Amino acid sequence: MQQQVLEVTNARFIPHVRALIEEGRTVRFRAMGWSMRPLIEHARDDVLLSGYGEAAPQRYDVVLAATDRGGFVLHRIVHIDGDRYTLQGDGNWRGVEHCTRADIIAKAVAFYRKGHAQPLRTDSRTWRCYSRLWVALRPVRRILLGLYRRWRALCPA
């Protein structure tokens, strides 16, 4: 059975996500955009979101947040300064966004990559190692992303 895909704008989608998260539910959706490459591929991988409850967002968490630029992103927390969070997509080597705790809607708790039924959970050792390594490689990320793009062009999935 083929699944139907419905594309909606963030302006229509995010309020529904926020409402479900506030009810204590999880939300799974297909990621759109290139800013979290190589972890999340545009229109291929799914993200499972959950709320924080009383817990505080931590460095390395991937969060859905409203940014100080007026948009919404699903990006990684790379720095925390009090109530100010600095976010950066894994596929970005220099651009960052900022938000406050109140702007964070949800955190990613799992990713479904390449159509696999088994998720990559964000509380797994694999995920924690990847997160710390990728953030540490920020000074050479431009080179790594360039190599990744060339490899994907030569060997499409």
Confidence of residue 66 (pLDDT cuts 50, 70, 90): very high
Residue 118 burial (10 A CB sphere; 0-12, 13-18, 19+): exposed
Sorted by where each starts, the structural domains of the chain and their CATH numbers stand as 10-154 (2.10.109.10)
Q: pLDDT tens, 84-141?
A: 999 999 999 889 999 999 999 999 999 999 989 999 999 999 999 999 999 999 999 8
pTM of the model: 0.91
Query: What does the chain look like in DSSP terms, one character per residue?
Result: -PPP-----HHHHHHHHHHHHHTT--EEEE--SSTTTTTS-TTT-EEEEE--TTSPP-TT-EEEEE-TTS-EEEEEEEEEETTEEEEE-TT-SS--EEEEGGGEEEEEEEEE-TT-SS-EETTSHHHHHHHHHHHHTGGGHHHHHHHHHHHHHHS--
Q: pLDDT tens, 71-84?
A: 999 999 999 999 99
